[in-house]
Amino acid sequence: MIDAARTLVGSAARIVTFSGAGLSAESGVPTFRDADTNGFWTDYDPAKLASPEGFAEDPELVYNWYNERRRNIAEVQPNPAHLALAAQPDIINVTQNIDDLLHRAGAKRVIQLHGTLATDHCNAGCGFQESVNIADPPPLRSCPDCGNRLRPSVVWFGERLPSRAWAEAEEACLGCDLLLVVGTAAEVYPAAGLIGLAQRSGARIVVVNTNPSAAGEIADIELTGPAGEILPMLLNP
Residue 3 falls in which region: left (phi positive, over 0), alpha (psi -120 to 50) or beta: alpha
Stretch that binds ligand BJW, among 4-12, 17-25, 120-128, 141-149 (CB under 6 A): 17-25
Interface with ligand BJW (CB under 6 A), residue from 15, 91, 207, 227: 227
Q: Is 31 in the site for ligand BJW (CB under 6 A)?
A: yes
Q: How many CA atoms lie within 13 A of 179 on its CB side?
A: 33
Closest distance between ligand BJW and the C-beta of residue 13, in Å? Answer: 25
In the bound state with ligand BJW, the residue whose beta carbon lies nearer, of 163 and 237, is: 163
In the bound state with ligand BJW, the residue whose beta carbon lies nearer, of 144 and 225, is: 225
SS3 label, residue 131 = strand
Q: Is 22 in the site for ligand BJW (CB under 6 A)?
A: yes
Closest distance between ligand BJW and the C-beta of residue 41, in Å? Answer: 8
SS3 label, residue 140 = coil
Catalytic: 114?
A: yes
Q: Is 189 in the site for ligand BJW (CB under 6 A)?
A: yes
Q: How far apart are CA 205 and CA 122, in angstroms?
A: 38
Interface with ligand BJW (CB under 6 A), residue from 89, 125, 139, 160: 160
Stretch that binds ligand BJW, among 25-33, 123-131, 135-143, 168-176 (CB under 6 A): 25-33
**Spatial CA neighbour of 41 closest among 68, 59, 19:** 68
Q: Is 114 in the site for ligand BJW (CB under 6 A)?
A: yes
Closest distance between ligand BJW and the C-beta of residue 11, in Å? Answer: 24
- Contacts of residue 83, Cβ cutoff 8 Å, sequence gap at least 6: 105, 106, 232
**Spatial CA neighbour of 192 closest among 94, 76, 107, 117:** 94
84-101 in b/e form (b: 16+ CB < 10 A) is: bbbbbeebbbbbbbbbbb
Stretch that binds ligand BJW, among 53-61, 143-151, 194-202, 205-213 (CB under 6 A): 205-213
Q: Is 170 in the site for ligand BJW (CB under 6 A)?
A: no
Q: Return the DSSP state at 215.
A: G
Q: How many residues line the site for ligand BJW (CB under 6 A)?
A: 33
Interface with ligand BJW (CB under 6 A), residue from 26, 99, 100, 120: 26
Is the CB of residue 99 less than 8 Å from the CB of residue 117? yes
Type of residue numbered 225: G
Q: Bridge-partner residues for 85, per DSSP?
A: none
Binding residues for ligand BJW (CB under 6 A): 20-22, 25-26, 31-34, 50, 96, 98, 114, 154-155, 157-160, 183-185, 187-190, 208-211, 213, 226-227
Catalytic residues: 114
